[in-house]
Amino acid sequence: MLTNKAQVVTYDFFIALAIFFLVMGLVMSIWYYTVIQAEESMEKRLAYNNLLSASQVWFKEGFPKYWDAENVVELGLSNDGKINETKIEMLKNSVGYSKASLLLNLGNFNFCYEVYDKSGNLIFRFPQNLDLSSARNIYKIERIGILNEQPVKVRTLIWN
Amino acid sequence: MELKGLAFTTDILIGLTLVISLIPLFYFVIESNYPETSFQSLTYQANDLIEILANLKASSFSNTSTISMLLSNKIISETDLNKTLLDLIGTFWYSGNKSIASNITKEVLEGLTEKCFSLQTHNETIYSSCSSNPKTVSVAYRLESGYEIGKPVSGYVARAWATKVRKNTTQIIIFYPEGSGWTAQRLEITKNFALPTNITIYNATLYVSIHFGTSKSQAQFEQLKINDVQKKNDIKWLYMQEEAFGWEITTAAYGVVDVTNEIQPGNNSIYLVIGTPNYHSHIHPGMRLIVTYSLSQELSTGNKSFKKRYYFDNVVGRTGAWSMVSFYIPENAKNAKAQLHLKTLEVDDTVDLFGRNSSDVIIYFNSGHIFYKDGYCSSQNCYPSCSISGLYYRNCRKVGVMNPELFLNLTNNLTIGTNVISVYLNNYGDVHWGDQKAIIYSDPLNDPEGSSYVEVYYEMEEPTFNYGEIDITREMLFGGSASNPKTFNFTLNQSQNKVIEAFVHIAQGFSSMVNASINNFWIFTSPSIRVVPENVYVYPNKLSVGKNSIRLVDFQEGGSISGTNYILPWSSFEYTYLVKGLVGYGNVFNSSQLAIEDAKQRLISQMGEEGIKPEGIQVDSQSVQGLRWLWGPSLFKILVWERE
């Protein structure tokens, strides 16, 4: 009788132990995955907020209303509901990427603006050269604005 | 024991399976954050699209197929290209050109976004790029109004209204059913009436509806004088119905005579003399004078209180005289009152076999029961108990001749719609008594207060017409053939949508009792036998623009439809409707003078369609600047959702 009991206990014990480790392993994996996902989610949310904020530049006037490279406090490329061509020229030629990035307050994110006409032809890009080879995550939003009395598609890209 | 261990192991494995199956839930919990950002993106897109429509001018799309087609077809002008796209879309949408609005939307917005979108207004879709149903949708709104295509946004507008007009209208002067007693030898009827003095008469037609001797040897048609001009031989007889019952031979006749040359502005008189040796002699329903004239009229606001007099015709009967006057109270009248002034002459004062004073004056009002009598009645029909001579004459003892004058208050027995009062002197029904003439006196032109009349008073909540509205009266003949029942179908057009007064004129040969309805709505039933008025009031609110129908039925006292009492085709529908004598602000013009001229022309054209010519016009011109009108404000919304 005792022999039989000991055999049963031993048999049960090993199975239970195996299951315990299996469950523990699963729980640890899920926990790790969850933490990673949460971090990525927060990162994405932050990136997305930055993306929307950067895209909104095309639809606000900024400060001062008619700023120049010297006095610009807040970047905005629009006036009276339409994109101001002078402002986007100033953005490209006077303000420059570094100052623009600072004004946009994008942190570690890089950015790029592209404007396409209704037929999909690129008519504006800032900065001129776009290198996404080192980009880890790229975020993109397309908006629709008015430039020179024509509707245009405004693409905003940010990446880290 | 082994079995127990196995059972335990199986439990564990089931539990483990459940735990593993929960793992995907963690994934969904983590992923549930993303729709928020997606929705935010949709919201931006929706706002961008509505801003495009609200801020971009149509000129930016002048080379698209729809707008270039509109330009080349001159549906829009270069000026209209200054409108915003939303204004242009709204203008076409609300003017009924929905496919144009849809095409413009499509050509402007397609290709700008990869997402699905839909432009809507007032829950109607102007254009949708996808047919799929959105699970999550973002909406952007914009309130917009606009002005009509081709109109400048500033300049002058003007309105105009007539202060004095000349209109063509119709007036119908009716002869009440009236006559003398049985075997009357001579019946004289005089109708004195006044037309407006400032009129030009185009046409005057007298329809004659009488009951006299036979159509052959015994016809006693003695006189028909219009303002002392004899016209009896000019009558064109349209219908004759002779009936014989033994020696009683009699004729109902309906004819027409042109009296345009005899009727004049101001006071007029028509004198009729007929008789029959062996039957009644009287006027049947349907005798009326129709005068069409043009009249100069100052525009004013209608009254809210009304006092009208319905004068009796002067009726001289031998023996006996009677008359049946119809008048009306409109359906929304308040404080309605009515009184009868009856002035009679040469009425024989009789007593019956028992010496009791006979009822020589009998009055019925809206009922088969006697409303007033001046003596004793031994039966319901008030025939005096005297010796009988022949079939219908009561040989009562005459004790004198009297000229009774009565003032009777009718108010308590008034009814909304048609009212009928019947006065009988020395006769009722087929029975008559007395030996000389009896007169219902009336001469409204020379003795308006002393004449016999019914005076009606009532008030209305609103005036029947407002300033700037002109009343026009028209008449439509039933046409067709004589029949019983008879239905008349007619159409009122849009310009006649405001009818304020309407009547059916019943033309009959022989008659018993009548039932009248309009569009299946009852309007009148004779309260007793032989009470068939010449005209029946039609409730204007039962009329409608488009098709209408009037149905008249002559029926016997027992309810059966009369076999030979026909409704004649010269029965008619008379209606008075209002025409607007003003026009509102119209197009925008570059000068005040042009705007005024346009307003005047619009007024002349509008009234001209109804035969009205303005004789005095007042105008009001305003300058307008950037005035938005004609459609809107309307809420437009853009819906954006992910493509499936």
Amino acid B32: pLDDT: 46
Query: Rounded distance, CA B186 to CA B209, Å?
Result: 16
Domain boundary among B462, B477, B505: B462
Of B26, B40, B56, the CB nearest to A34: B26
Q: 3-state DSSP call for residue A47?
A: helix
B400 touches chain A (CB under 8 A): no
Q: Residue B17's closest chain A neighbor by CA?
A: A23
Flag if B112 and A52 touch (Cβ within 8 Å).
no
B33 part of contact set with chain A, CB < 8 Å: yes
Q: Report whether the peptide linkage leading into residue A127 is cis, meaning its omega lies within 30 degrees of zero.
A: yes
Residue B217 has a pLDDT of: 52
Identify the CATH number of the domain in which residue B387 sits. 2.60.120
Q: What SS3 state is found at A12?
A: helix
Residue B120 has a pLDDT of: 92
How close A37 gets to chain B, by Cα (Å)?
7
CA distance B232 to B184: 20
**Which domain-ending residue is among B462, B478, B508?**
B462
Contact between B574 and B473 under an 8 Å Cβ cutoff? The reply is: yes
B380 in a structural domain: yes
Q: Average pLDDT for residues B529-556, to the nearest whole number?
A: 94
B3 in A contact zone (CB under 8 Å): no
Most B CBs within 10 Å, among A143, A150, A155, to test the B interface: A143
Question: Residue A144 and residue B48: Cβ atoms within 8 Å?
Answer: yes
Q: What is the pLDDT of residue B390?
A: 79
CB contact under 8 A, B26 and A33: yes
| Chain B positions in Cβ-Cβ contact with residue A15 (cut-off 8 Å) | 9, 12
HSE-up of residue B623 (Cα within 13 Å, Cβ side):
3
Q: What is the DSSP letter of B94?
A: H
In Å, how far is B581's CA from the nearest CA of chain A?
A: 47
- Domain annotation covers residue B142: yes
DSSP state of B403: -
Residue B458 shares a structural domain with residue B471: no
Between B96 and B259, the higher pLDDT residue: B259
Distance separating alpha carbons of residues B319 and B434, to the nearest angstrom = 6
Taking CA atoms, B22 is separated from A18, A37, B13, B27, B118, in Å, by: 20, 17, 14, 10, 40
The lowest-confidence range among A90-99, B70-79, B485-494 is B70-79
Residue B227 lies in a domain: no
Interface test with A, best of B2, B37, B84 (most A CBs within 10 A): B37
Q: How far apart are CA B478 and CA B486, in angstroms?
A: 9
Whether the Cβ atoms of residue B397 and residue B149 lie closer than 8 Å to each other: no
Confidence category of residue B358, pLDDT binned at 50, 70, 90: very high
Range name among B175-184, B188-197, B395-404 with the lowest pLDDT average: B175-184
Instruction: Let me know whether B469 and B333 are in one domain.
Output: no
Report the chain B residue with the minimal C-alpha distance to residue A151: B52
What confidence tens digit (pLDDT) does each residue in A58-75 have? 999 999 999 998 899 999
Please indicate, yes or no, if residue B550 is contained in any of the structural domains.
yes
CB contact under 8 A, B56 and A55: no
Kindly report, residue by residue over A129-153, the tens digit of the pLDDT. 888 888 888 999 999 999 999 999 9
On whether both B452 and B554 belong to a single domain, the answer is no
Beta-carbon separation of B111 and A141 below 8 A: no
- Give the phi and the psi of residue A58 in degrees, each rounded to 5: -70, -15
pLDDT tens string B38-72: 788 889 999 999 999 999 999 999 999 999 999 99
Query: Could you tell me if B406 and B469 lie in one domain?
Result: no
Nearest to B56 among A34, A55, A146 (CB): A146
Average pLDDT over residues A106-118: 91
The reply to whether B78 touches chain A by the CB within 8 Å rule is no
Grade residue B526 by pLDDT with cuts at 50, 70 and 90.
Answer: very high
Do residues B456 and B308 share a domain?
yes
Mark whether B440 and B321 lie in a shared domain: yes
Compare CB distances from A38 to B2, B30, B48 and report the shortest one's residue: B30
Q: Are A16 and B12 inside 8 Å of each other by CB?
A: yes
pLDDT in tens, B454-484: 999 999 998 888 888 999 999 999 999 999 9
Residue B31 has a pLDDT of: 47
| B638–A contact, CB cutoff 8 A | no
**Any A CB within 8 A of B45 CB:** yes
Alpha carbon B447 to its chain's center: 35
- Whether B345 and B422 map to the same domain: the answer is yes
The CA R_g of chain A, rounded to the nearest whole Å, is 27
pLDDT value, residue B27? 55
Taking residues B629-643, report their average pLDDT.
81
Max Cα-Cα span within chain B = 142
**B198 lies in some domain:** no
Contacts with A45 from chain B: Cβ below 8 Å: 33, 37
User: Are B315 and B444 members of one domain?
Assistant: yes
| Chain A residues lying within 8 Å of B1, measured CB to CB | 4, 8
User: Is A82's CB within 8 Å of B55's CB?
Assistant: yes
With a CB cutoff of 8 Å and minimum separation 6, the contacts of B466 are: B301, B302
Q: Would you call B40 and A26 a contact, using CB atoms and an 8 Å cutoff?
A: no
DSSP assignment of A93-118 = IIIHHHHHHHHHT-TT-EEEEEEE-T
**For chain A, which residues lie within 8 Å of any Cβ of chain B, measuring from their own Cβ?**
4, 8, 11-12, 15-16, 19, 22-23, 26, 30, 33-34, 37-38, 41, 44-45, 48, 52, 55, 59, 81-82, 118-119, 141-146, 149-151, 153
**Min distance A94 CA to chain B CA atoms (Å):** 28
Q: A52–B44: do the CB atoms touch at under 8 Å? A: yes
B340 is a domain residue: yes
CATH at B570: 2.60.120.1200
Residue B427: in which H helix or E strand, if any? strand B427-428
Q: Is residue A88's pLDDT more than 70?
A: yes
Beta strand pairing call for A122-126 and A110-116:
antiparallel
Note whether B48 contacts A34, CB cutoff 8 Å: no
Strand-pair category, B486-492 with B546-555: antiparallel
Q: What is the pLDDT of residue B92?
A: 87
Higher model confidence: residue A8 or residue B561?
A: B561
- Percent of chain B topping pLDDT 70: 91
With pLDDT > 90 as the criterion, what percentage of chain B qualifies?
61
Residue type, B248: E
What three-state secondary structure class fits B129? coil
Task: Tell me the pLDDT tens digit for each residue of B561-605.
Answer: 988 899 999 999 999 999 989 888 888 888 889 999 999 999 999
- Mean of the pLDDT values across residues B481-494? 94
Closest residue to A146, CB basis, from B34, B52, B111: B52
Where in B103-213 does DSSP place strands (E)? 116-121, 124-128, 137-146, 154-174, 178-180, 187-194, 199-212
pLDDT of residue B589: 85
Would you place residue B2 in the very low, low, confident or very high pLDDT band (cuts 50, 70, 90)? very low
Query: How far apart, in whole angstroms, are the C-alpha atoms of residue B503 and residue B488?
Result: 13
Q: What is the mean pLDDT of chain B?
A: 88
C-alpha B542/C-alpha B523 separation (Å) is 10
pLDDT at site B530: 84
Asked if residue B103 lies in contact with residue B125, where contact means CB atoms within 8 angstroms, the answer is no
Q: Is residue B265 part of a domain?
A: no
Name which of B479, B497, B612, B465 is nearest B169 in CA terms. B612
* Tens digits of residue pLDDT in B505-519: 999 988 899 999 999
Residues B564 and B494 in one domain: yes
Q: Which of A63-77, B53-67, B285-299, B380-394 has the lowest mean pLDDT?
A: B380-394
Given the structure tokens 């053939």, which residue do they identify?
B481
A chain contacts of residue B5, beta-carbon cutoff 8 Å: 8, 11-12
Residues of B in contact with A119 (CB under 8 A): 111
Q: Does residue B606 sit within a domain?
A: no
C-alpha to C-alpha distance for A87 and A59, rounded to whole angstroms: 12
Contact call for B12 and A144, based on CB within 8 A: no
Q: Do A23 and B57 touch (CB under 8 A)?
A: no
Both B431 and B501 in a single domain?
no
Order of all β-strands in the sheet with B469-477: B469-477, B572-580, B499-505, B535-538
Q: B24 and chain A: CB distance < 8 Å anywhere?
A: no
Residues B637 and B493 in one domain: no
Give residue B624's pLDDT band: very low, low, confident or very high (50, 70, 90): confident
B347 and B479 housed in the same domain:
no
Please give the tally of structural domains in chain B: 3
A101: left (phi over 0), alpha (psi -120 to 50) or beta: alpha
Range of the domain at B94: 33-153+632-641
